[in-house]
Amino acid sequence: MADTTGFPGSLPTPFTSFVGRRMEVAEVRRLLGASRLVTLTGAGGVGKTRLALEVAAGSARAFSGGVWLVDLAPVRESSAVPGVVADALGVADMGTRPVAELLAAHLSERRALVVLDNCEHLVDECAPLVQQLLFVAPELRILATSRETLCVTGEHVLAVAPLPQADAAELLRQRTAAVRPGFEVAEANQAVAARLCADLDGLPLAIELAATRLRSLTVEQVVQRLEDRFALLSAGSRTARPHQQTLRAAIDWSWELCSPQEQLLWSRLSVFAGSFTLDAAEGICCAEGIAAAEVVDLLDRLVAQSLVEQPEGEETPRYRMLETLRQYGQEQLAASGEEQWMRRRHRDFFLAMAERLYQDWFGPRQALILTRLRAEHANLLAALAYRDGIAGAPTGAATSGPAQAHPCAAAPCGDGQVALAGALIYHWAAGGYLGEGRRQLERALAAAPEPTPARARALVAAAHLAQTQYDLAAAGRWLDEADDLAERLGEPVVRAHVRGHRGVSALYAGRLDDALSHVEQAVDAHTALGDRFGEVAWRCALALVQVLGGHPQALETAAEALADAEAHGERWARAHLLMVLGRRAWALGDQDEAKALTISSLELLQGFSDTVGVAKMVEQLAWITASAGDHPRAARLLGAARSLREAAGITVASGDPRDEDYHARCEAEASQALGRAEYDKALADGAAIDGPAQAIAYALAPATAIATAAGTEPAATPAATSPLTGREEQIAALVAQGMTSRKIAAELVLSPRTVDNHVNRILTKLGFSSRAQIAAWWTAQ
């Protein structure tokens, strides 16, 4: 695969080499030059995804707007497709606009290539979305993989054929040599190797599965075992072997070579969407037939058989299963009668995880919590999609090994979804999924109207998201219901949060006296309840309201709130309070203090994906910069803030009505100082700064252009708030020097793949999508 270092996008690092298909690669690239939509079709396991990724990587230099992979395999609900595409492209779903419109706006002026992988089960949703995006984005190219065409006007289709004999033999040689060093296809075994590849119809996945068995079997033994399986599946006709049937034969054969426990784990792992961690596998899959202590060894055996993939070099490894193997496992799970039971265990595991991370939120691990939740996003959506469960273990479930208890979480099925959606409030609000979170909460609340404590908490969460989108009417309705329900159920903590959020709505409506009264009541209520989390969080909000209202105790309250928050390692609320203190300093004419406080607020939000919060801070920095006379930079900052708001589907600068006047004044000053043409150019330059992470990097590195940051020298050491490990900081410094993965590997005596894995983790932790952003961040630190 070509080196895409320095180019924007989300292509994964390949686990293995790409073999053959030179003509197909050239043809797909030719088609992409002539057509804006190319679809690769073919049987499962024929290599559609790998071919698409090879073409995409080799085309990176032609697409300045990035090359992006969207894996639709884990998606179970068609309505989730636009959100998954937006997430893969880094488009913040934070507002009330339909996600498809946000995507269209994001791509409208970009020259980008989007790989839509595994579309076959979502064709009805993918086709109109693709058509809409291509209509509004003339420079966009889409490369889809599907077992059937999308049937969109202008679509060019390339049927991916099995590998020819020579390529199939080379694939067999390379994959076998990986598990059996020294293996070669030579004169002595050439004929039988060719026969094996022919019996597998040249399907890459089937060949790779067969290669894992050559660790301990001869090629002749593998051929003999496959012949028996083919005879069974072809119903007596040894010539009637369609590609899918052949693939199933290979997978059936791999299944039968697994032990009963390995089979059980394989089927249970199919409940995961996307990737998973060892602790999740242990928490969900250890039940009848598998003890908790046995999971790690069984998983290792599945990895050794190439049935599960494990990237190298990760501190917290995430495993994944090829989609064809996962679907096969789902069939086995359904046949065993365990499917609903395992899906409920999956839901309960992620509910418990979400509630635990919610409790841990008020502390120093906020950025790491968001990183974990971001990595689990596909699993969280799958857990939220779970519906009709059963109470206990299925009849006929495996019973070997120590018995395990089977009660699910105490929450009823629907209430579990409500509880999960509510517990993810910070994933939605601070992790870049505001619109998705609101949709999930609305869906869960509608599906489970029972008056429960979980519903009361979810209503407050829904109100919070609506307020962030400045939809005060919806927020008010949810707060009214939450208040009534909490009073009926005896939930004083919920009622205290309701009071605070009523204050937020009053603030956004310009009623400062009402806002002050409500938030003061919230602080007092949480203090009386001994709820330290709520007390400090709402004291930060109280300081914010007092500062905006010019209250005489504002600075005293702010100092107390900041000290409490900092003592607990809290960053998110502290960032927003520092922003407002910066606004106060600017209004009083203290430019240096205003800039320092606003910059500090942006530094604290590194590693978050709070698009709306960053937009407010960048907007405020534009006002301060204009007041200092740097109108070109002020205009670029205005453009960046506007781009962030548009990406979030929000049209106003903030909830404070006075901000519209500040915005208009800054625009007028910058436009007059620069002239309309220069102002518009600077505004457009700022709008090209893509996403909250890049906006923060630009704000923190004023002398560094994002597009050329990769060549700058790194700072001596990163800030104390860095979420990176020591090794990751070391690699980030070398990335900032412009070094490739291969050069970094040589410098640190690591493998290039390990370096790539470290870089991918750095990107995930910082919420970035390119090495240039890492370099700009490091320089700013």
DSSP state of 113: E
Burial of 661 (0-12, 13-18, 19+ CB in 10 A): exposed
Has residue 533 been placed in a domain? no
Which residue in 325, 344, 349 sits closest to 269, CA to CA?
325
Examine the fold and report which residue of 110, 127, 159 is the final residue of a domain before the chain moves on: 159
Return the percentage of the chain with pLDDT > 90, whole number.
Answer: 48
φ, ψ at 387 (rounded to 5°): -130, -95
Contacts of 588 (CB under 8 A, 6+ apart): none
Has residue 495 been placed in a domain? no
493 neighbors 529 (Cβ within 8 angstroms) = yes
Number of domains in the chain: 5
Highest mean predicted confidence (pLDDT) among 495-499, 563-567, 741-745:
495-499
User: In this predicted structure, what is the pLDDT of residue 721?
Assistant: 52
Contacts of 668 (CB under 8 A, 6+ apart): none
Return the percentage of the chain with pLDDT > 70, whole number.
Answer: 87
Examine the fold and report which residue of 257, 279, 296 is the final residue of a domain before the chain moves on: 257
Has residue 189 been placed in a domain? yes
pLDDT one-digit tens code per residue, 536-578: 999 999 999 999 989 999 999 999 999 999 998 999 999 999 9
Q: What is the CATH number of the domain that holds 729?
A: 1.10.10.10
pLDDT one-digit tens code per residue, 144-166: 998 888 989 899 999 888 888 88
Q: Please state the rounded mean pLDDT for residues 116-145.
A: 92
φ, ψ at 38 (rounded to 5°): -125, 130
Q: Given the structure tokens 């629907």, which residue do they identify?
A: 414
Q: What is the CATH number of the domain that holds 26?
A: 3.40.50.300
Q: Please state the rounded mean pLDDT for residues 295-319.
A: 81
User: In this predicted structure, what is the pLDDT of residue 3?
Assistant: 46
Strand-strand pairing, 155-159 and 275-277? unpaired
Which residue in 257, 171, 233 sits closest to 207, CA to CA?
171
- Between the alpha carbon of residue 586 and those of residues 512, 582, 589, 754, the distances in Å are 20, 6, 5, 47
Q: Given the structure tokens 């390949």, which residue do they identify?
A: 14
Has residue 216 been placed in a domain? yes
**Spatial distance between the Cα atoms of 406 and 531, rounded to a whole number of angstroms:** 34
Q: Are residues 34 and 122 in the same domain?
A: yes
Q: Are residues 41 and 153 in the same domain?
A: yes
Long-range contacts of 477-484 (CB under 8 A, 24+ apart): 479/505, 482/456
Q: Are residues 267 and 401 in the same domain?
A: yes
DSSP state of 9: B
333 neighbors 289 (Cβ within 8 angstroms) = no
Q: Are residues 172 and 58 in the same domain?
A: no
Which conformational region is residue 768 in: left (phi greater than 0), alpha (psi within -120 to 50 degrees), or beta?
beta
- Between the alpha carbon of residue 613 and those of residues 456, 465, 468, 504, the distances in Å are 26, 13, 9, 15
For the ranges 44-48, 506-510, 635-639, which has the lowest average pLDDT? 44-48
**Spatial distance between the Cα atoms of 207 and 72, rounded to a whole number of angstroms:** 24
Residue 505 pLDDT class (50, 70, 90 cuts): very high
Q: Are residues 136 and 273 in the same domain?
A: no
Mean pLDDT of the chain: 84
For the ranges 132-146, 598-612, 729-743, which has the lowest average pLDDT? 729-743
Examine the fold and report which residue of 257, 289, 312 is the final residue of a domain before the chain moves on: 257
Look up the domain containing 774 and give its range: 708-780
Q: Are residues 245 and 265 in the same domain?
A: no
**Spatial distance between the Cα atoms of 605 and 283, rounded to a whole number of angstroms:** 32
**Spatial distance between the Cα atoms of 139 and 126, rounded to a whole number of angstroms:** 19
Q: Please state the rounded mean pLDDT for residues 305-315.
A: 72
Which residue in 222, 223, 219 sits closest to 183, CA to CA?
219
Which residue in 298, 401, 294, 390 sits closest to 341, CA to CA?
390
pLDDT at 487 over 70: yes
423 neighbors 462 (Cβ within 8 angstroms) = no
Burial of 440 (0-12, 13-18, 19+ CB in 10 A): buried
pLDDT one-digit tens code per residue, 572-607: 999 999 999 999 999 899 999 999 999 999 999 988
pLDDT at 272 over 50: yes
Has residue 471 been placed in a domain? no
Rg for the chain, CA atoms, rounded: 28
Has residue 227 been placed in a domain? yes
Q: Given the structure tokens 């029972």, which residue do they identify?
A: 450
Has residue 476 been placed in a domain? no
Q: Are residues 237 and 345 in the same domain?
A: no
Q: Are residues 678 and 596 in the same domain?
A: yes
The pTM is what? 0.77
Q: Are residues 687 and 730 in the same domain?
A: no
**What amino acid is encoded at 190 in this protein?**
Q
Q: Are residues 275 and 194 in the same domain?
A: no
Has residue 597 been placed in a domain? yes
Strand-strand pairing, 275-277 and 318-320? antiparallel
554 neighbors 521 (Cβ within 8 angstroms) = no
Q: Are residues 30 and 103 in the same domain?
A: yes
The separation between CA 562 and the C-alpha centre of its own chain, rounded to angstroms, equals: 31
Q: In what order do the strands lie in the sheet with 141-146?
A: 67-71, 113-117, 141-146, 37-41, 155-159
Q: Are residues 253 and 268 in the same domain?
A: no
Extended beta strands in 134-209, E state = 141-146, 155-159
Residue 413 pLDDT class (50, 70, 90 cuts): low
